[in-house]
Amino acid sequence: MIKVIKLLKAAAGSNRVPEFQSTYPAPENRIEKIKEAIEKYQGEG
């Protein structure tokens, strides 16, 4: 999933809309949330 977000970020280039104007979080924030979820759910199982 993180690879997909990085790919989307690269595809957008410098034409990204500021996060407050976007319907989605900035790629950096999305990656951070994914990492947090991975850590949270790795221990559960």
Q: What is the pLDDT of residues 2-33, one digit of tens each?
A: 999 899 888 888 877 888 888 888 888 999 99
Residue the block writes with tokens 């790629």: 27
**C-alpha to C-alpha distance for 38 and 43, rounded to whole angstroms:** 9
Q: Give CA angle at 15 (13, 19), nearest 5°.
A: 105
Specify whether the CB–CB gap between 7 and 30 falls below 8 A: no
37 confidence band (pLDDT: 50, 70, 90): very high
**Residue 41 and residue 18: Cα distance in Å, rounded?**
30
Q: What is the pLDDT of residue 36?
A: 94
Residue 31 burial by CB count (10 A; 0-12/13-18/19+): exposed, middle or buried? middle
pLDDT for position 33 = 93
Residue with the larger pLDDT of the pair 15 and 42: 42
Domain boundaries, the chain: 2-42
